[in-house]
Amino acid sequence: MKDFTLHIPTKIIFGKDAIKKLGDQIKGNYNKVLLHYGGGSIKKSGLYNDVVRILKDNDCEIFELSGVEPNPKLGLVRKGVQMAKENEIDLILAVGGGSAIDSAKAIGIGALYDGDVWDFYSGKLEPEITIPVGVVLTLPATGSEASRGSVITNEDGLYKRSTGGDFMRPVFAIMDPTYTLTLPTKQTFAGIMDIMAHIFERYFTQTPHVNLTDSLCEGTLKTVIQNAYIIKEDSQNYDARAEIMFAGTIAHNGLLGVGREEDWSSHDIGHEISALYGTTHGETLSIIFPAWMKYVYKENVDRFVQFATKVFDVSEAEMDKDEIAIEGIKRLEGFISDIGLPKSFTEANLPTDKIDLMAEKATEDGPLGNFKKLYKDDVIKIYKLAK
Amino acid sequence: MKDFTLHIPTKIIFGKDAIKKLGDQIKGNYNKVLLHYGGGSIKKSGLYNDVVRILKDNDCEIFELSGVEPNPKLGLVRKGVQMAKENEIDLILAVGGGSAIDSAKAIGIGALYDGDVWDFYSGKLEPEITIPVGVVLTLPATGSEASRGSVITNEDGLYKRSTGGDFMRPVFAIMDPTYTLTLPTKQTFAGIMDIMAHIFERYFTQTPHVNLTDSLCEGTLKTVIQNAYIIKEDSQNYDARAEIMFAGTIAHNGLLGVGREEDWSSHDIGHEISALYGTTHGETLSIIFPAWMKYVYKENVDRFVQFATKVFDVSEAEMDKDEIAIEGIKRLEGFISDIGLPKSFTEANLPTDKIDLMAEKATEDGPLGNFKKLYKDDVIKIYKLAK
């Protein structure tokens, strides 16, 4: 096990009508709130009205910036930074999913910085302080409600880049699973794929003797798979929605990765697909992960045997290690098909003529990953395995 | 799943030489530190000198209160409260195990209260604020390094009572597994029993559909059992010590209990044994838990079947549910014997003539537990099952 620091100060307020506790978080703490969200869905559901009423009841001056898109854009972030500076905002309240939250986090660090907020994402410098960010979560997927990171897309060049720090974790996250009962099927399952991918990026490690986090990863993965099938049969099942929603937080708040080297190459390889085609993040992961697994499993076949047997209950009888590992990957592909996500560029109706460009961009800051270091040629091979 | 709030702001600094990061936590934050510990073991090991040097290097004025005993006493807490008040202490730094930490937490809340600190433990009122508590952990067991609670024994009447709140979680915990390599065998395994008991009190619930926390509980329990056997064979195994140390935090920081009704009756029933005979907390749990399980399992045999199959790999073949449940409890008893702890009053060389008095005191504030509500007569039967 490696040394680590773990600091997750985000207060999780979870359950039916959790929004009723929003006022307790605001009162006496914040006065000028930037409400940050996507489009009309929170207006249709009534959540927008609830939030505005609670903020007003707690004497807040409300500023609004809507229009956050999936794969949130730098342009809107810059607009938010300007608003936050001009109005001395003291809380950015993201209402929505990971895009609204990541965008809010970017505004938070940008508002206390004199230069351009992209400097933090381009790697020019590390952020150190932020305006507090609060969250009302409507879509479990990215884990951004308690994570230390933010991913933003720069429209100029279609770069998707990230930054982070423990100080960037939201101060609170209101999480009511009832908001997720009406999610479209595709969003539900793309979110589930994202949750699983956050665990995979931590689970597939070369660090030895990480029993506890292994078991937490395996347990969370099994829970997600089990409840994905329940939701497929019964989209209105509150308990299954609740399991998925909390699993989304656990998958990416950092707990499952402590003491082990992580590997984020599949996310990076997938990011280039959404940067180019606007593909939903979860779909890029369902396309890339099986291909990545097939390409790298021989680097540590025992770990893939453990994955196959512990997560997908593959029996070790009458198969050699390679066969067990491959069977585990096959079962993951079967699960991806069962939840209606694409396993390839073809299934996602995406062209494959830009593979070279995508591999070039994905690796322009150096090789990716740790489980196996991936150079441009490796990434091309993974894209081709995912054709 | 039930609604919940989860807030664990404790910063965990974990690994070899983690003490080197103590200065970063102190610098600019604290000036007048009450160093709180037990006896000579931290002086023998050199840890005391390390801590004092770091505090001095960071311009702290150091006040000292040693003499914390297992099952920490109200008398010493009152002395600490007085010292904290008189010297305007701004950090209480507990160096040791759960006793030093629980005592430090008590001093923290007592120092900002005009009345007697026992008021918080007797249930007269709820604490709301504290002087910050920091931790350098040397013994993994109680989980107090990141938990919201504190347990103190009132020498006058031998009452062992608890209080808590999220604000009582330590601000940081320095956790270096190398400190635990030299722990006496009995302390190591009593600590492991305490860790497991913290999970049991959450795992055995009547709340339906708690898949995620079930899987986290089961994974943590299996990890603890697996690594206990490694330590039994090789007490110097750093990785196994690290797994146990972090498991101790996870077991009791609240994560494993979210969304489910917990049951703390076994702790309460065990507390009366240590209040009367000074028995190590972990030993009271190894005595009480199997008896409690045998007494209550029929209230929800499916949960005990799940425990037997998921934690102890009991096969479901050719046994009915009751037999599987009983087999799980038997395997727990086998594990307790393997790690050299007592499963009964007899094995612990304790008298059984005060059972009635203990049951009376354990239930004097009302019945215990939730899995099955336990009245005085039930508690007597459990003590008798543990004879």
Question: Which of B10, B212, B239 lies closest to A247 in CB terms?
Answer: B212
Amino acid at B20: K
pLDDT tens string B110-137: 999 999 999 999 999 999 999 999 999 9
Q: Is pLDDT of B30 > 80? A: yes
Share of chain B above pLDDT 70, in %: 100
- A112 with A245, same domain: the answer is no
Q: How far apart are CA B114 and CA B125, in angstroms?
A: 13
CB B366 within 8 A of CB B268: no
- A190 with A157, same domain: the answer is no
Question: Which of A15, A212, A219 lies closest to B243 in CB terms?
Answer: A212
CA distance B211 to chain A (A): 6
Q: How far apart are CA B312 and CA B300, in angstroms?
A: 18
B3 to A11: CB separation less than 8 angstroms, yes or no: no
B243 to A21: CB separation less than 8 angstroms, yes or no: no
User: The CATH number of the domain where B136 resides is what?
Assistant: 3.40.50.1970
A21 to B5: CB separation less than 8 angstroms, yes or no: yes
pLDDT tens string B178-233: 999 999 999 999 999 999 999 999 999 999 999 999 999 999 999 999 999 999 99
- A261 with A278, same domain: the answer is yes
Task: Give the residue carrying structure tokens 């039967």.
Answer: B381
Query: Is the ipTM of this structure higher than 0.90?
Result: yes
Specify the pLDDT at position B92: 98
Question: Which of A13, A209, A227 lies closest to B211 in CB terms?
Answer: A227
Structural domain for B59, as ranges: 11-179
Among the listed residues B162, B132, B259, B281, the one whose alpha carbon sits nearest the alpha carbon of residue B202: B259
The answer to whether position B2 is within a domain reads no
Specify the pLDDT at position B274: 87
Specify the pLDDT at position B309: 97
Tell me how many domains chain B contains. Answer: 2
The answer to whether position A3 is within a domain reads no
A15 to B6: CB separation less than 8 angstroms, yes or no: no
Specify the pLDDT at position B159: 79
B5 to A13: CB separation less than 8 angstroms, yes or no: yes
Rg over CA atoms, chain A: 20
CB atoms within 10 A of CB A3: 17
A259 to B247: CB separation less than 8 angstroms, yes or no: no
pLDDT tens string B72-122: 999 999 999 999 999 999 999 999 999 999 999 999 999 999 999 999 999
Among the listed residues B97, B96, B95, B94, the one whose alpha carbon sits nearest the alpha carbon of residue B106: B94
- Give A227's contacts in chain B (Cβ within 8 Å): 211
Query: Which residue on chain A is closest to B242 by alpha carbon?
Result: A1
- A265 with A165, same domain: the answer is no
Residues of chain A with pLDDT under 70: 158
The answer to whether position A160 is within a domain reads yes
- B161 with B19, same domain: the answer is yes
B3 to A21: CB separation less than 8 angstroms, yes or no: no
- Among A179, A210, A227, identify where a domain stops: A179
The answer to whether position B5 is within a domain reads no
Specify the pLDDT at position A160: 81
pLDDT tens string B332-362: 999 999 999 999 999 999 999 999 999 999 9
- A159 with A228, same domain: the answer is no
- A161 with A22, same domain: the answer is yes
Specify the pLDDT at position B71: 86
B258 to A247: CB separation less than 8 angstroms, yes or no: no
- B211 with B141, same domain: the answer is no
CA distance B13 to chain A (A): 5
Query: Which residue on chain B is closest to A5 by alpha carbon?
Result: B13
CB A110 within 8 A of CB A71: no
Instruction: Tell me the pLDDT of chain B averaged across its residues.
Output: 97
Share of chain B above pLDDT 90, in %: 94
In total, the C-beta contacts within 8 angstroms joining chain A to chain B are 123
User: The CATH number of the domain where A327 resides is what?
Assistant: 1.20.1090.10
Specify the pLDDT at position B160: 81
